[in-house]
């Protein structure tokens, strides 16, 4: 039998009842004794049904989780991401996307999550002009959240499983281009002799661009480098290591360095200021890159040998931040340039994938590899000319076995 009592006059009643043999549980009732007695009978009956297997304890637990506020689940989800090793920036953006989509769709509890309402919200975002990549970022975050709840028995099913992401390739708002070798040479050379931009001296920015082009390291990875990140004891086997905390796939990445780059890094690190980070990079690297491209382009134009050549260069897309096809050359374009140079140099796709530190070969070849118009024109030039006349054929004459096997030569038979 359940016991009912209260600790002080006028206060709430308390219920103590048997959950299973040898274990009792105490819960708070209400101030009305009759209502508390009714609640006690129900709790005791439910406990008996659980012991007998009539009530599914797992289903009951799922029902409790599904009715809990989403914010309560987000606290546990954040701890799970921290335990997995996600960066603070990734956690912040993921939680922000989840909260934003929950608010837009009116989801207060997991039981409210509905694929149709998410699809309607996606359609609304598209009408408002949002790009596929921006929408997919929200969907990816929310899908990871519902998948985590399903796997941890906080949801009966994953309602976001049937929500498909948009085709980002068909709706790219930012197309990057790979710089040509000549553009890279001008950018590095001109920047090295330039002054301070974004609180970085010219030689520092020049080395940053060179390291990015020759290793393919991302901005966040370059920002994390310290002098200890470089293995320069043996310059023929020089390396740079990106710590797992800053690597995109959460593992220590060791990237090989060319000998000439290693030599330049030794001199750069010796003459550089004493600080923890090798590069004092700004947050907005695209603005710094744009300024350096414009400065290098102007020096290239001023270097024209004749007035006619100068006018031609002024109308050229050489070293422009945005080319005539609206493709941009921001800081991440240096990584595109690195992988494109590998492809142009005939590096095997598997090796290019490893150097790019991609998870799939498709990402390396389809998403990053660029070809310049000169490469495409050279490929077309190798095709035979369709308008050319076919060479005249010699008249066919009758032949005999003596033509094929001249007299005096033995014929071998199998």
pLDDT-wise least confident of 5-9, 67-71, 140-144, 336-340? 5-9
Residue reference for tokens 């914010």: 71
Distance CA 311, CA 317 (A): 12
User: Looking at the DSSP assignment, which residues form a beta bridge with residue 26?
Assistant: 16
Distance CA 239, CA 355 (A): 12
List the domain boundaries for the chain: 3-55, 70-171, 181-340
For 411, which DSSP code?
P
User: What pLDDT shows up at residue 402?
Assistant: 47
Confidence bin at 393 (pLDDT 50/70/90)? low
Q: CA angle, 44 as apex, 38 and 47 as ends, to 5°? A: 140
pLDDT-wise least confident of 93-102, 107-116, 209-218, 389-398? 389-398
Length of the chain: 414
Full DSSP string of 314-373: HTS-TT-SB-TTSEE--TTHHHHHHHHHHHHTT--HHHHHHHHT-SSHHIIIIII----H
Output the six-digit token pair for 39. Answer: 């609640």
Distance CA 268, CA 282 (A): 19
pLDDT digits (tens, 9 = 90+) for 270-295: 866 556 889 999 989 999 999 999 99
Is 70-171 a domain of CATH 3.40.190.10?
no
CB contact set of 204 (below 8 Å; sequence gap of 6+): 272, 279, 280
Confidence bin at 53 (pLDDT 50/70/90)? low
Helices marked H in 106-180? 115-127, 132-151
In CATH, the architecture of 181-340 is: Orthogonal Bundle (1.10)
What 3-state class would DSSP assign to 225? coil
- DSSP β-ladder status, 239-242 and 230-231: antiparallel
Output the six-digit token pair for 389. Answer: 């006349």
pLDDT digits (tens, 9 = 90+) for 226-257: 998 999 999 999 999 988 777 766 678 899 99
Distance CA 111, CA 117 (A): 13
């Amino acid at each position: 039998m359940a016991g009912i009592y209260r600790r002080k006059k006028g206060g709430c009643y308390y219920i103590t009842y048997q959950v299973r043999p040898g274990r009792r549980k105490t819960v708070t009732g209400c101030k009305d004794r009759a209502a508390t007695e009714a609640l006690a009978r129900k709790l005791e009956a439910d406990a008996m049904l659980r012991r007998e297997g009539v009530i599914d304890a797992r289903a009951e637990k799922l029902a409790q989780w599904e009715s809990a506020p989403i914010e309560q689940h987000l606290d546990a989800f954040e701890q799970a991401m921290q335990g997995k090793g996600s960066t603070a920036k990734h956690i912040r953006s993921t939680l922000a996307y989840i909260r934003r989509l929950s608010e837009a769709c009116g989801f207060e509890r997991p039981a409210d999550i509905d694929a149709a309402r998410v699809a309607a919200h996606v359609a609304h975002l598209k009408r408002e002009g949002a790009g596929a990549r921006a929408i997919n970022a929200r969907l990816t975050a929310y899908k990871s959240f519902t998948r985590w709840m399903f796997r941890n028995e906080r949801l009966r099913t994953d309602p976001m499983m049937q929500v498909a992401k948009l085709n980002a390739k068909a709706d790219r708002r930012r197309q990057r281009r790979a710089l040509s070798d000549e553009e890279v040479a001008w950018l590095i050379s001109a920047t090295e002799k330039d002054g301070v931009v974004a609180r970085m001296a010219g030689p520092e920015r020049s080395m940053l661009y060179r390291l990015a082009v020759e290793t393919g390291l991302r901005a966040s990875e370059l920002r994390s480098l310290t002098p200890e990140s470089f293995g320069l004891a043996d310059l023929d086997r020089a390396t740079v290591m990106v710590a797992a905390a800053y690597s995109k796939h959460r593992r220590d990445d060791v990237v090989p360095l060319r000998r000439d780059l290693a030599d330049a890094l030794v001199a750069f690190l010796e003459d550089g200021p004493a600080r923890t980070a090798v590069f004092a990079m700004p947050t907005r690297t695209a603005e710094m890159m744009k300024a350096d491209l414009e400065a290098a382009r102007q020096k290239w134009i001023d270097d024209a040998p004749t007035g006619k050549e100068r006018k031609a260069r002024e109308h050229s897309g050489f070293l422009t931040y945005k080319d005539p096809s609206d493709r941009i050359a921001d800081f991440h374009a240096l990584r595109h340039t690195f992988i494109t140079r590998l492809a142009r140099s005939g590096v095997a796709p598997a090796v290019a994938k490893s150097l790019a530190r991609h998870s799939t070969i498709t990402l390396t070849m389809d998403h990053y590899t660029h070809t310049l118009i000169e490469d495409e024109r050279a490929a077309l030039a190798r095709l035979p000319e369709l308008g050319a006349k076919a060479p005249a054929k010699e008249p066919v004459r009758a032949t005999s076995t003596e033509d094929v096997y001249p007299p005096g030569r033995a014929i071998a038979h199998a």
